[in-house]
Structure 1
Amino acid sequence: MADRFAPRRPPRAAAPEREDAPGLPARRLAAAVIDEVLRARVALDETLERLLPESGLDAADASLARAIAVTAFRRLGTIRHAIDARLDRGSPRQSGPFEPILTAAAAQILFLDVPDHAAVDLAIRHLHEDQRSARYAALGNAVLRRLARERDAVLAEAQADAFGDTPDWLIESWSAAYGEETAAAIAMSHREEPPLDLSVKADPAGWADKLGGIVLPTGSVRLRERQAIAGLPGFEEGAWWVQDAAAALPVRLLAPQPGERIADLCAAPGGKTAQIAAAGASATALDRSGPRLRRLKANLARLGLAAEIVTADAASWKADPFDAVLLDAPCSATGTIRRHPDVAWTKLPEDRDRLAALQARLLDAAAALTKPGGRLVYCTCSLEQQEGEEQTSAFLARHPQFRREPVRPAEIGGLTDPIDGNGDIRTLPQQLPGETPRLSGWAGFYATRLIRL
């Protein structure tokens, strides 16, 4: 589409007295979120959180708006190709919100359980709200109706193209790192809705039974059905917290012991801090973001766990050396694309390279905080080797006083696939097969355990 990333002013504000057709406000919010995320390259959840209060949507419509936006990004390549193929002259220029409105409608028509007539009718109503897009309402109507008629063909073509919903730079990066076949499996797994995993303080089997879940080999509990988290048994009493099974592995490598002093750098929102504190260690949770630390503090309070909370930049923070240090470094987050599909479309290679430089500085700072004989675990939720394997190699070259301690399968539930040739953890989204696609897989993570001599 010709004006895909062109800056444009927001759609004209609606008149206060306007009566909306049922379902239109949810579509309006979804299109606004899609538009802003792509133009400003900001996170979908952050954008939705900011726009939702002023939308006035109830819980059901807010959930629908989020489902539309998330689905649009999960299948954005397919949606764009399908729309472009039905626009003989490409997307019209200076058409205001034409593209995000059609993108939201196509997500409903192709991938959501929404009646075609509702998706089309509400999209056309939405196009008429802005004079720039109103001129192309008939064109939009024709494109969307054709999509509905040709849905089976669109989906069959998309299924045959494993990389159809993955930006070129990620295809190249993953193919170079893992080979084209594995890269294709990663890309295909990102099309599936992610599982919901919990870390529990104790008795995983008991909580799996109470919550209708399954116990993974690593000890996490995976819920079979999606439910409102705050209403589940054990939430109020703080028996568990939401944490992807792969994200729970770094603390297993750290193996915190009662009475140890352990620093969790870049700690918010606090899932790993909770693991450390639940093991009986004395946890220090550090993050540069005050708001994110307030969320961490609230999470720990619900769980009945305690930690020293420090607002500081981990790259320059000084303290007495710790028995163990965990550095979950800021990264491109490409390992979370299945859960946060907007990441694929908001991150660029230069973001990865810029963050890799920051990771090196943070690793050097973490090294200084690790006492002799202590453990340093470095991890990122990234599939990019520049942010994982290459960081560790460069670190060990700079710091000969550290050595790698390889991970043993017994430490991660007997699994061998996630352990690479160096003994580090490298989880891939298509690993950990389950009963259904949604109950399979986990986030892409890298973790290494280093010992200070």
Structure 2
Amino acid sequence: MTPAARVQAAIDLLDAIIAAARDGGPAADTLIATYFKTRRYAGSKDRRAVREHVYAAIRRTADCPETGRVALIGLAREQPDIAALFDGSSHGPAPIMPEEAGAAPGIVPSWIAPLIAQPVEQEALLGRAPVDLRINRLKTTPEAVAPDFPDATPIPGLPDALRLPEGWPVERSEAWIAGRVEVQDAGSQLISMACDAQAGLTVIDLCAGAGGKTLALAADMAGKGRLIAADSIRSRLARLAPRAERAGASGIETLLLDQGHEGRALDAFAGQADIVLVDAPCSGTGTWRRNPEARWRLTPARLDRLVSEQARILDFAAPLLAPGGLLVYAVCALTDREGRDQVEAFLTRHPGFTVEAVPVTMGRVHGGGCLLTPVHDGTDGFFFARLRHG
């Protein structure tokens, strides 16, 4: 591919990504992989260059642009070497006309910017994220794993965590293959630690997904007690079993919930849980470093639906707690509607619960919970709170 053809390919891919963002279609990585499967003539350098163009355009454009060409022209206005490739060649994009406006640069979509809890840190939301590891104490110790990752550094406040440079190929390492480590952002590890799961307890991970936090809870419980991983999406929950086998985490129960009728499966646990973790569906604003196109998928209407769903999940989670039990609420989001305000509304609806201080050294106190941000903590953005029953 010529350099100009690479730019045109990036425009074509951005058109597909924009359409998918509006219609709830596949993620950018999936679309890029599919695109190149049918274009065998593209070599590795071509694929890398096109991908870099695509993500550079996405990262600099907060509001979803009308077309891929608009997105790339915005990038070209800042990078003359790319602008020169709009040359009208047979496989390249047409020249940029004086009247063509490129997408305005930005970090956070204009409509949601006032809702972000820490607006002064918005720029960090699109920085490159490191690779964080959680050492699996069911199989090893931090001291035993350290020689496998000489480039890693410890993360203060997290004794089982190591941090590697962005892009480090962890899944090729013997330690990962053997289940001695898991890839898990430090913020997620901190939330698992805040649950204070211990051997012999009954713990429910109510929005378990593929089980990243479930496995961390299993390690804290040392395989003793009752650990239930519940979710309403079968395909995500199905990924837990092979991960648990690799991690040596036996005895985890899985529970598929019928969305909208979760009580049918959960009634049997009413008043029995010592700990319930609600890692709720959210806007994902805290994960934009890893998934910048998610900014284009989020809309005011979708945020409204997510806030309502979070409240609904908290309401059916509350009755599961035994007296003195702990409800940990978490979102990988930085909007106060999903964090601080959600907790305040829950406490109004459930006066039998009280906010409990988060016993961690990272993050900042924020509205009865803890706020983690990329700048302050080096993690993805999270809000979480501990709510004690009785």
1:420 to 366, 376, 379: 366
1:199 to 120, 126, 134: 134
Deviation at residue 79 of structure 1 after TM alignment: 11
1:138 to 95, 105, 111: 95
Amino acid at match of 1:260: L
1:171 to 113, 125, 139: 113
Q: Which residue of 2 aligns with 1:35?
A: 18
CA change 1:448–1:117 in 2 (3 A) is closer
| CA distance in structure 1 between the partners assigned to 2:64 and 2:340 by the alignment | 34
Amino acid at match of 1:100: G
Q: Which residue of 1 aligns with 2:388?
A: 451
Give RMSD over aligned pairs.
Answer: 3.5
| CA distance in structure 1 between the partners assigned to 2:43 and 2:319 by the alignment | 48
| Identity percentage of aligned residues | 30
Deviation at residue 228 of structure 1 after TM alignment: 2.2
Amino acid at match of 1:210: D
Deviation at residue 418 of structure 1 after TM alignment: 2.3
8 Å contact from structure 1 (residues 102, 123) kept in 2: no
8 Å contact from structure 2 (residues 62, 295) kept in 1: no
| CA distance in structure 2 between the partners assigned to 1:143 and 1:208 by the alignment | 57
Q: Which residue of 2 aligns with 1:84?
A: none
CA change 1:337–1:247 in 2 (3 A) is same
| CA distance in structure 2 between the partners assigned to 1:358 and 1:292 by the alignment | 18
Q: Which residue of 1 aligns with 2:358?
A: 407
8 Å contact from structure 2 (residues 87, 95) kept in 1: no
| CA distance in structure 1 between the partners assigned to 2:99 and 2:133 by the alignment | 42
Map 1:26-425 to 2 at 5 A. 27=10, 30-42=13-25, 44-45=27-28, 47-48=30-31, 51=34, 54-55=37-38, 60=44, 65-77=50-62, 99-101=67-69, 103-104=71-72, 107=75, 116=82, 120=86, 125-127=91-93, 137-139=94-96, 164-174=106-116, 177=117, 182-183=118-119, 185-202=120-137, 203-204=141-142, 206-211=144-149, 212-219=151-158, 220-279=161-220, 280=222, 281-306=225-250, 307-313=252-258, 315-316=262-263, 317-318=265-266, 319-320=268-269, 321-408=272-359, 412=360, 414-415=361-362, 417-420=363-366, 422=368, 424-425=369-370
8 Å contact from structure 1 (residues 190, 338) kept in 2: yes
TM value normalised by structure 1: 0.71
Amino acid at match of 2:95: A
CA change 1:38–1:104 in 2 (3 A) is farther
Amino acid at match of 1:418: R
Q: Which runs of 5+ in 2 are unaligned?
A: none
Amino acid at match of 1:35: I
Give the length in aligned residue pairs: 370
Amino acid at match of 1:71: A
Q: Secondary structure at the match of 1:327?
A: strand
1:388-407 Cα distance to aligned partner (Å, 9 max, x none): 11111111121122222211
| CA distance in structure 2 between the partners assigned to 1:216 and 1:425 by the alignment | 18
| CA distance in structure 2 between the partners assigned to 1:298 and 1:105 by the alignment | 45
CA change 1:124–1:40 in 2 (3 A) is farther
1:63-103 Cα distance to aligned partner (Å, 9 max, x none): 555444333221114997xxxxxxxxxx9xxxxxxx31463
| CA distance in structure 2 between the partners assigned to 1:166 and 1:215 by the alignment | 31
8 Å contact from structure 1 (residues 37, 47) kept in 2: no
Q: Secondary structure at the match of 2:278?
A: strand
Deviation at residue 29 of structure 1 after TM alignment: 6.5
Q: Secondary structure at the match of 1:387?
A: coil
8 Å contact from structure 1 (residues 427, 446) kept in 2: yes
Q: Secondary structure at the match of 2:200?
A: coil
Amino acid at match of 1:125: H
Amino acid at match of 1:167: P
1:327-372 Cα distance to aligned partner (Å, 9 max, x none): 1011111111122111222102222221111111110111111111
CA change 1:214–1:247 in 2 (3 A) is same
| CA distance in structure 2 between the partners assigned to 1:373 and 1:195 by the alignment | 37
TM value normalised by structure 2: 0.82
8 Å contact from structure 1 (residues 429, 442) kept in 2: yes
Q: Secondary structure at the match of 1:451?
A: strand
| CA distance in structure 2 between the partners assigned to 1:405 and 1:331 by the alignment | 22
Amino acid at match of 1:198: L
Q: Which runs of 5+ in 1 are unaligned?
A: 1-19, 81-90, 92-98, 128-136, 148-153, 159-163, 433-440
Amino acid at match of 1:171: A
| CA distance in structure 1 between the partners assigned to 2:243 and 2:84 by the alignment | 40
